[in-house]
Amino acid sequence: MMSERKRLHPIAILFQLFNWLKSSLFLLIILFISVDSFYFVLGLIGYLLFLVVSAVMSWSRFFYLVDEDGLRIEYGVIKRTKRSISKNRIQSIDLTESIVHRLFKLVRVQIETATTGLQAEAQLSAVRLDEGYALRKQLKQVRATESVEGEEEEIANDPQRVATNRELFLFGVTSGGVGIILGSLGVLFSEFAEYIPDTIYDTTWEWFVASSIIVIVSLVAALLILIWIISVGFTFIRYGKFTIKKQENELLITRGLLEKKQLTIPLGRIQAVGIEENIFRQPFGYVSVFAEIAGGSADDQSSASAVLFPIMKKQEVSSFLDTYVPGMSWEEEVSWISAPRAARKYYLFRSIILPVLALAVLWYFYPSFMWIGLLILPIAIFFGWLRYKDTAFSIQENMLLLRYRVFKRMTVQVPHRRIQAFEEKQHVIQRKDKVATLSLSIISQLGGKSFTLKELRTEDIEQLNEWYSTRNNRGKRSSFRKR
Amino acid sequence: MRQPPEHKIDIRALKVWKISAVIYHAIFFCIIALLAFFTYKFDWPLWILITGVLLWILSTCLSIFIIPKYRYLRWRYEIFEQEIYIQHGVLILTRTVIPMIRVQHVETEQGPIMKHYSVASVSISTAATTHQIPALSEEDASNLRDRISQLARVDEDDV
């Protein structure tokens, strides 16, 4: 048992410094541009000194301690804070090793309770690797304290699945990362466009006009392939060695080649499971599996749900979920109740309204670029149609399956008891078509989250309402009356 | 469609809504007046002022004379043994069902105008959402609050 209070590894000072610098970077850049450079450098030196001193001080005043009850941390230079987190309240303990951590054999420990939000309840930014693991072992509450040997034995039999390189390659190739990289390159280019001298534009243009079509096409193709390869590389760095393992009542997920992340997901906190099919994977029958989890801090900013496995065949989902998330039995073939034909016009309207408006503006200012519309409009109509086709739900005893699409097709399975509220919305035009919008709320990592299915038949929603409503279970109408 | 909920909210809600709309529009009017002053002083283009005034007139008519009535007519709620059923919305009709066991806490709230008319609002929170019944008589509100929290206590489910 660790019983004396401990400090973090001194490298934590660097992390703290880096964090502060990162958050003040924007301000520094503005100052750099607007202030005379001599004073700027002077101010910067002063500021850095101040930061270094405060980082050292806050490190020297940060202590942690593990005892029988749980974890205690003390911090703060001027205002001292003592926080204790009881073992029983700890939901999960996540370990992350960034490149810097790995150089020094360190690990970052994040301790989560049920509180929802972006921040972990307690974070130890750098502790020794072995100590981090020991800490996790100590803080894990073992309900009926069994013998350690028995525990070890069990671990050997725990189901585990590792993503193979082939799977990861498929995942990277179909991730649509090309679009994201191209997009960010575009943004970057537009930011720096004004700093590029005109002569470069001119020579490029001259070259472009002089070259043959074949050269240009092959150049563009080469560029695309290069970007594609880079995006596959990024996938490997992020998801490399993806491993999911089930230990008693929790899932242990490890991933990352450079930055190793280890997440624990208590099974009891899984609110919903689902599969995600993007437009490149869907034709090949590949999906990725995710879960919505109550509480904890978001794994990354882009999505609030946790990836259970990056890619697998659709047929495998059922047995995968049976093994790792028991109680969420996934039916492969279900009968879907889709949005009615009357819904189609709403979907198409919503998909094309923005492009049409944008094109109208374009037509007004740059009529010669109208051909772009010929590219965008069919895509918009296609997605609108797909969204209409994919919107559906299905009731499976005490589970509800929802299917919808924004760009990726999502199929989510929510148990009855995880649905927090049921809402049905209908505006005046929808009423004439006898359709309404349904939205169901669940708890997610960032607090509440709702799934919305637009323009379902009112009678279908009625049926769903009957399924959801508990008013007829025990009671009649309440005795509550207005006076 | 399922039958709408049975109970209407307190009729005094109308007065509360109207009075708060009047207050907001008085503030809005001050901004318009300021705009008129700038237009006069700095020769701002006239259309800004005209748009502002038109918006003010439209918004005043709607939110003082028209919307509160329809909002009141639409607002319904009903408390069952097992669930709470709410309906509201003027242009977009919304119906919400909240199972009693999902309710995390209930609170009543009362601002100065509501205090004057002896009405209060009741907020019902689940772990994911919050729903508010805007105006009930003080007595009804506190009864409802106590009742919901009593019913919600039934079952200590995990999350």
The ipTM estimated for the assembled molecules is 0.79
Report pLDDT for A410.
93
Nearest to B97 among A425, A431, A469 (CB): A469
Contact residues, B window 102-121, toward A, CB-based 8 Å cutoff = 102
Per-residue pLDDT of B89-136, as tens digits, reads 989 999 999 988 888 888 888 889 999 999 999 998 888 889 999 989
Residue A313 has what pLDDT? 92
Taking the C-alpha atoms of B46, B50, B56 and B62 in order, what is their torsion angle to the nearest 10 degrees? Answer: -160
Distance, in Å, from the CA atom of A12 to the CA atom of A63, rounded to the nearest integer, reads 12
User: Which residue in A424, A435, A438, A473 has the most chain B C-beta atoms within 10 A of its own C-beta, making it the best mutation to test that interface?
Assistant: A424
CA A281 to chain centre: 19
Number of residues in chain B: 159
Contact indicator for A132, A109 with CB cutoff of 8 Å: yes
Q: Is A268 on the interface with B (CB under 8 A)?
A: yes
Asked if pLDDT for residue A482 goes beyond 50, the answer is no
Q: Which residue has the higher pLDDT, B155 or A340?
A: A340
Main-chain dihedrals φ then ψ at residue A470, nearest 5 degrees: -110, 10
Nearest residue on chain B to A295, alpha-carbon basis: B159
Asked if the C-beta of A398 comes within 8 angstroms of chain B's C-beta atoms, the answer is no
Greatest mean pLDDT range, A143-152, A329-338, B6-15? B6-15
Residues 130-149 of B with CB under 8 A from A: 131, 139-140, 143-144, 147
User: A425 contacts in B (CB within 8 Å)?
Assistant: 89, 92-95
**A76-133 per-position pLDDT tens digit:** 888 888 888 888 778 778 888 888 888 888 999 888 776 655 566 788 889 998 888 8
* Facing A470 at nearest CB: one of B82, B127, B129: B82
A473 interaction partners in chain B (CB closer than 8 Å): 82
* pLDDT reading at A194 higher than 80: no
Question: With 80 as the cut, is the pLDDT of residue A179 above it?
Answer: no
Q: Which two tokens stand for residue B92?
A: 């977009």
Q: With bands split at pLDDT 50, 70 and 90, how would you rate the model's confidence at B87?
A: very high
Structure confidence at residue B85 (pLDDT): 92
Q: Quick check: B97 and A423 CB within 8 A?
A: yes
- Cβ–Cβ of B94/A425 closer than 8 Å? yes
* Residue B81 DSSP code: S
Q: Do B98 and A450 touch (CB under 8 A)?
A: no
Q: B69 pLDDT exceeds 50? A: yes
- Residue pLDDT, tens place only, A5-30: 888 999 899 998 988 888 888 888 88
More confident call, A206 vs A432: A432
Give me the pLDDT at residue B53, please.
92
The helix (H) or strand (E) run that includes residue B139 is helix B138-152
pLDDT digits (tens, 9 = 90+) for A202-247: 787 777 777 777 887 888 888 888 888 888 888 888 888 899 999 8
Residues A341-387 have pLDDT tens digits of 999 999 999 999 998 898 888 888 877 777 777 788 888 999 999 99
| Res B39 pLDDT > 50 | yes
Query: What pLDDT is attached to residue A472?
Result: 59
Nearest CA in chain A to B98: A421
Q: Which is more confidently placed, A455 or A176?
A: A455
pLDDT given at position A53:
92
A85/A78 Cα distance (integer angstroms): 22
Cβ contact, residue pair B129, A448, below 8 Å: yes
Residues A392-400, mean pLDDT to the nearest whole number = 90
- Which residue matches tokens 């002077």? A42
DSSP assignment, residue B90?
S
Report pLDDT for B30: 93
B3 lies within 8 A of chain A by CB = no
Provide, as residue numbers in chain A, all residues whose Cβ is less than 8 Å from the Cβ of B87. none
| Torsion sign (Cα): B109, B112, B113, B115 | positive
Q: What residues of chain B lie within 8 A of the CB of A470, using their CB?
A: 82-83, 99-101
A80 and chain B in contact, CB less than 8 A: no
| CA–CA separation, A427 and A439 (whole Å) | 14
